[in-house]
Amino acid sequence: MDGLGVEAHGVARRFGMVQALGGLDLTVPYGQVTALVGPNGAGKTTLLLILATLLGPDHGVVRIAGHDVRTHPRLARDAVGYMPDTLGVYDQLTVDEYLAFFAEAHGLPKDERPRRIRALLSLVHLDEQLGQPVHALSRGQKQRLGVARALVHRPRVLLLDEPASGLDPRSRVELRDLLRSLAAEGVAVLVSSHILSELEEIADRVVLVDRGRTVGEHAMADLAAATRSRWRVRSLDPGRLMAALAGRADVQPLPGAAEVGPLTEAEAAALLAELVAAGVPVTGLAPASGALESVYLAMTDDRR
């Protein structure tokens, strides 16, 4: 699967005195999950609104599935599914009425709608909620209904604004599986979030934004190898561990363990070999924080 679901170059948007986006670049390939990561106020929501054709950019070029949003907003709109951060639903409707309404509004042929709705409900594991009023759904279920709504017209590009916030771990795992399976079918998925540990499992790529600009774009696989993070060493004999680490300046003792670093993966491997050679009974060596978290913290470091 090649080609780009989303291409954005130099996107700028201002709200009064606030420059929400200041020339941001972004690409989202088909068949992959791309994570959009940045602190609050970085402009993630603003960017997603622009990609969803709801908001117009002041400057810059945005193409969705090859259609320029400025010149062909309707073609772009047909190709995009969007789930906003605060999902509004018509509480008075049942789950299937809700989806039927959007299926009709998207112009799906009448005979195709019931099949499409059933397929969507089973995709998001809401089969059993068919006929239930929307207001009776749990937060996680509503979130999945929102994903189903965004997928009603089979978009090739899916945008989700902080879909994982407020979800319990079980719902998050389900959301992750859903997004992975959509990507496997060739959809270009863009997820904004700051729940970093989750993104590491969901995303293939990560785009870091801060103050309305792209500050980094990495493949998840490279990220782990390239970034330096702190590592946690566990040992049966903490005393010997601390003695072996005595020469280093970056050590912080913990109960039954020590934190070292920041180190790259290669440096960590070397440290392990060194400790084992010194006869320290090591039971574990693992990153103290995710690679993404380290990058994120490094990015936001200067604001503290």
Partner 1 sequence: MTPQGIGLVARQEIRTRLRTGRWKALLVVWAVLVNGLAMMFRLALEMDDQSDFGHSGVPMFGGVLLAVLILTLLVTPALGAQAINGERERGTLAALQLTRLQPGDIVLGKLLAGWGTGLIVLLLTLPSLLLPVAEGAIGIGRAIVVLLVTGLLIGVSCALALGWSALLARSITAVLMSYLTVFGLLVGTPLLFTIALPFTAAPTGSGYDRDHPERVWWMLAPNPVVVLADAAPRLTRRTVQTPHGTFTESPPNDPLGGISREVRDIREGDKGYIDRNDRDEDAGPVWPYGLAFDLALAGGALWLSARRLRTPMYHVPRGVRVA
Ligand X SMILES: Nc1ncnc2c1ncn2[C@@H]1O[C@H](COP(=O)(O)OP(=O)(O)O)[C@@H](O)[C@H]1O
Residues binding Mg ion (CB under 5 A): 45
Choice between 36 and 224, CB closer to Mg ion: 36
Q: Quote the least distance from Cβ 88 to partner 1, whole Å.
A: 3
Residue partners of 54: CB distance under 8 A and separation at least 6? 82
Q: Quote the least distance from Cβ 192 to Mg ion, whole Å.
A: 7
Choice between 75 and 242, CB closer to partner 1: 75
141 is an interface residue for partner 1 by CB under 8 A: no
Give Cα 201 distance to the centre of its chain: 9
Is residue 129 within 8 A of residue 89, CB to CB? The reply is: no
Choice between 18 and 173, CB closer to partner 1: 18
Span of 85-93, 136-144, 179-187, 194-202 interacting with partner 1 by CB under 8 A: 85-93
| Candidate residues 41, 56, 253, 256; the one interacting with partner 1 per rule CB under 8 A | 56
| Candidate residues 33, 60, 82, 178; the one interacting with partner 1 per rule CB under 8 A | 82
> Which two three-digit tokens encode residue 178?
């859903």
Q: What's the start-to-end Cα distance of the chain, in Å?
A: 41
Q: How many CB atoms lie within 10 A of CB 167?
A: 19
> Which two three-digit tokens encode residue 96?
């299937």
For residues 40 and 174, what is the distance between their CA atoms, to the nearest angstrom?
A: 25
Residue 69 interacting entry, from ligand X, partner 1, Mg ion, none, C-beta within 5 to 8 Å by type: partner 1
Residue 77 interacting entry, from partner 1, ligand X, Mg ion, none, C-beta within 5 to 8 Å by type: partner 1
18 is an interface residue for ligand X by CB under 6 A: yes
Q: Which residue has the tokens 């907003």?
A: 73
> Which two three-digit tokens encode residue 56?
């117009």
Residue 38 interacting entry, from Mg ion, partner 1, ligand X, none, C-beta within 5 to 8 Å by type: ligand X
Give Cα 21 distance to the centre of its chain: 19
Question: Using alpha carbons only, what angle is made at residue 275 by residues 271 and 281, rounded to the nearest 5 degrees?
Answer: 135
| Candidate residues 44, 77, 156, 172; the one interacting with ligand X per rule CB under 6 A | 44
> Which two three-digit tokens encode residue 149?
């709504």
Which residues make up the interface to partner 1 (CB under 8 A)? 15-16, 49-50, 52-56, 58, 69, 73-74, 77-78, 80, 82, 84, 86-90, 92-93, 101-102, 104-107, 149, 153
